[in-house]
Homo-oligomer: A and B are copies of this chain.
């Protein structure tokens, strides 16, 4: 998907919401467990109920791998369902991959070709030749971890490297990577106060922002410091949206929260326009 198409979708839907599909058999409504593929049944219902309120879906691969073959199959069915039924949705494989060159190419093929995701999250630790193989795929996006929403982010990411925090060094360095116009970055909503500094380094790039809601981040703070003329933000909510009811009404309950978030986003977009 081209970035311009994504921006059009955001403007049309007045939403920059991404729904995270962290589907966990211990947390989905019990009545779904008798379905042939409970993970897919859950995802399909959530997608159908929220698709007009969000611009994308982000399955985290850990939740699927934990169920082995069945999990991988559910992931395939989910991405195929989205691509066939709602091709306007921006899809993110939250996989946090990265390896030496020829091996990263394998991961890129897995997510961009075999599964046909629009984007994949990538860990920066192994540097340029671990990231560029992902960037070689046209109209696909590589979302590098920059400043994550968890406590462990302070272990290394915010440590000072050559006079600059590591995450800034990651942002700066990645600007020299080939096809860097296809880069996006993960920046946790729990660290919104860092967004001014981040925007000084990457004024235009899209940020994927987890941590609003369940993890305590504020949508207004994120938008205040991170929003660009072309919006430049994709705000993800997973648990905060998908696990609001254990009953037959779980999809409606998810829709209600997605609706609240979309309304708040619309308000912000109107104020900023």
Contact = CB atoms under 8 A, between A and B. Distances in A.
B72 A68 contact: yes
A70 B71 CA distance: 13
A238 to B, nearest CB: 10
A29 interface: no
Interface in A158-200: 159-162, 166, 169-170, 173
A150 interface: yes
A97 B22 CA distance: 16
Interface string A73-106: 1001000000000000000000011111101101
Interface stretch (A1-9, A109-117, A257-265): A109-117
A101 B173 contact: no
A138 B64 CA distance: 23
Interface stretch (A36-44, A45-53, A120-128, A224-232): A120-128
What 5 A-B pairs come out closest when comparing CB atoms?
A: A127-B152, A127-B155, A62-B106, A65-B110, A129-B152
22 contacts: A62-B103, A62-B106, A65-B106, A65-B114, A66-B109, A66-B110, A67-B114, A69-B73, A96-B99, A98-B123, A100-B149, A101-B150, A124-B155, A124-B156, A125-B156, A126-B148, A126-B150, A127-B150, A127-B153, A129-B150, A156-B161, A159-B169
